[in-house]
Amino acid sequence: MLKLYRLERRRIQAEAASREQFDITDEAAVRSFIISARPDAIIHCAAYTAVDKAEDEPDLCRRVNMDGTRNIAAVCRDVGAKMVYLSTDYVFSGAGMTPYEPNDPTAPLNVYGASKLAGEQTVRELLERYFIVRTSWVFGVNGKNFVKTMLRLARSHKELNVVNDQIGSPTYTADLAPLLCDMAATDKYGIYHATNEGFCSWAQFAKEIFKDAELDVRVNPIPTSAYPSKARRPHNSRLSKACLDAAGFKRLPSWQDAVKRYISTLQHL
């Protein structure tokens, strides 16, 4: 079983399973696991997140992000559990420069974004007691992320080209997790945006990483057009967090503070 540190610190009994133990695309396995656990709430973090690869594997991406989510939501309905569903800034088109509000029109640009939006729609169709939480540019101790990639590249490069015309907010899992726990303990259901505070480009993000890690790496800002990728990315990933204020939830710390704490954590592992 996976460790759930944030919930354990709050003395909240919780169960989780790894992908090997619990395939969310297997309806029978999902039903068996959840009915056995009889939870009051489910925080659904599992997802297919390889954005470029999803363009080549659209069926698998949808099976995980849409069908898997439907499997979980259906059992949540049957056992009367709340559901927290992690979604993404990629449900939006990225047009303009204004931060997106939760109820703004959605228009994903790629397979991954469309599959996550389909997951959202499934949750809304099947459940009344749900929290849909859109986040962006996530990094944490586990798994791959932009910060780890930059630190790895810094070992062999003194100069890096990084996109400077996609704007959004980094999100540290250690800051996001307590908010998800807070939400699950309430009945303030709905769609929320949750990221660390402030906005930046990927190039500005990279510069902050190298500054905090005390690495002498030059970052050359480049346009998206100079770094072609299989999946289109939104230029504007700014998410408004006014929804958190309205519901009485505390906003996350600044993204710069989050990066500094994360780098320090990595250095002490």
Query: Each residue of 230-263: pLDDT tens digit?
Result: 999 999 999 999 999 999 999 999 999 999 999 9
pLDDT at 102: 97
pLDDT at 155: 93
pLDDT interval class at 157 (50, 70, 90) = very high
Say how far apart CA 242 and CA 260 lie, in whole Å: 25
Report the alpha-carbon angle 266-233-60, nearest 5: 85
- E strands in 60-129: 82-88
Look up the CATH number of domain 5-267. Answer: 3.40.50.720
Closest CA to 208 of 259, 157, 154: 259
- Asked if 263 and 209 touch (Cβ cutoff 8 Å), the reply is yes
pLDDT at 7: 65
Say how far apart CA 162 and CA 160 lie, in whole Å: 6
Dig out the tokens for 7 from the structure: 């919930």
- Read off the pLDDT of residues 50-99 as tens digits, 9 standing for 90 and up: 999 999 999 999 999 999 999 999 999 999 999 999 999 999 999 999 99
Catalytic pick among 48, 90, 112, 192: 112
- The residue extents of the domains of the chain are 5-267
- Asked if 38 and 76 touch (Cβ cutoff 8 Å), the reply is no
Say how far apart CA 256 and CA 208 lie, in whole Å: 7
Please state, rounded to an integer, the average pLDDT across all residues of the chain: 93
- Label residue 128 exposed, middle or buried (CB < 10 Å: 0-12, 13-18, 19+): exposed
- Read off the pLDDT of residues 128-137 as tens digits, 9 standing for 90 and up: 999 999 999 9
Dig out the tokens for 179 from the structure: 């908010």
- Asked if 91 and 73 touch (Cβ cutoff 8 Å), the reply is no
The question of whether 172 is a catalytic residue gets the answer no
In sequence order, what are the residues at sequence separation of 6 or more whose Cβ sits closer than 8 angstroms to the Cβ of residue 60? 48, 54
Residue 2 has pLDDT above 60, yes or no: no
User: 3-class SS at 20?
Assistant: coil
